[in-house]
Structure 1
Amino acid sequence: MLIAVASQNFRTVTGHAGKSRRFLVFDAAPGQPPHEVERLDLPKELAIHEFQDDGAHPLDAVDVVIAGSAGAGFVNRMAARGVQTVATAETDPAAAVAQFVAGTLIAPAPHVHGAEEGGCDCNCGG
């Protein structure tokens, strides 16, 4: 199974999956440690937030995308491409992949909105 982890610095899991342009890609199987197989460093126009769905995308090759956060738009667009999206509070990319495969991935903290002026900018629709 190929799993892409959003990681803008290639060291930690980052949020805002739709705007992410850097992903660590792991090959993972139950009972085995994940193995990094590729690093994606996409141009801005290939961030899913910017991508116009007019053809193949590098993330089409993976089965799962893990990120610190992902809005409904990202989740739906990836699902339409056959890719599952999962959000997590885990910050270590390899640990996040291992936990996902084991079914123990740490869920993100509940998203609470304050009185953001101009509305929320997290793409959650809140």
Structure 2
Amino acid sequence: MKIAIGTKDFATIATHGGRTRRFLVYEADAGTAPVEAGRIELGEEEVLHLCGDGRPHPIDAVRVVITGSSGAGFVAHMKRRGIEPVTTTETDPLRAIQGWFAGTLEPAAEPAHPHEHHDGDGHGHAIPSPAGERGST
């Protein structure tokens, strides 16, 4: 399955999923090492915080997106696209994927709200990964 990791610099997991512009895309399944399958670099107007649900987006190719934090709007947008949103305190993309499959990925704490909402979306930033072993699909 394809998993996108929101990054600051294509190396470290970013702290705000909706404003992230750089994503590493991995092909990964339970029990196998994740392999980088591509990168997504978005323009300022393409960030997921601003992107509605009605038009195609490069993120649509993945099944899971892992970020450092996310708001309720981001979570809702991802779910409507059929993408599982996950937050984490982990900063290393490969360890985050391995932790997600193992069900041991530490969820991000809800931030002290360092950003503004322009679309009426509320709070609820911490989206934990469900516990338990992940299977391949």
4+ long deviations beyond 4 Å: none
Measure, in 1, the Cα distance between the counterparts of 2:53 and 2:44: 14
Q: Could you tell me how far 1:47 is from its partner in structure 2?
A: 0.5
- Greater mean deviation of Cα atoms: 66-75 or 37-46: 37-46
TM-score (norm. length: structure 1)? 0.86
* CA-atom RMSD in angstroms: 1.8
Give unpaired runs (5+ residues) of structure 1: 114-118
Cα deviation per residue 1:91-114 (whole Å; 9 max; x = unaligned)? 001110111112211222x3364x
Measure, in 1, the Cα distance between the counterparts of 2:116 and 2:63: 24
Give unpaired runs (5+ residues) of structure 2: 125-137
Q: Could you tell me how far 1:42 is from its partner in structure 2?
A: 1.0
Measure, in 2, the Cα distance between the counterparts of 1:43 and 1:95: 27
Measure, in 1, the Cα distance between the counterparts of 2:50 and 2:76: 15
The equivalent residue for 1:121 is 115
Q: How much identity, in percent, do the aligned residues show?
A: 43
Aligned CA distance change for structure 1 residues 67 and 98 (closer, same or farther; 3 Å) = same
Q: Could you tell me how far 1:122 is from its partner in structure 2?
A: 6.2
**Map of 1:14-93 to 2, 5 A cutoff?**
14-93=14-93
Q: Could you tell me how far 1:53 is from its partner in structure 2?
A: 3.0
Query: Does the 8 Å contact 1:28/1:101 carry over to 2?
Result: no
Cα deviation per residue 1:20-48 (whole Å; 9 max; x = unaligned)? 11100011111111111101111112101
The equivalent residue for 1:12 is 12
Larger radius of gyration, structure 1 or 2? 1
Task: Give the total of aligned pairs.
Answer: 120
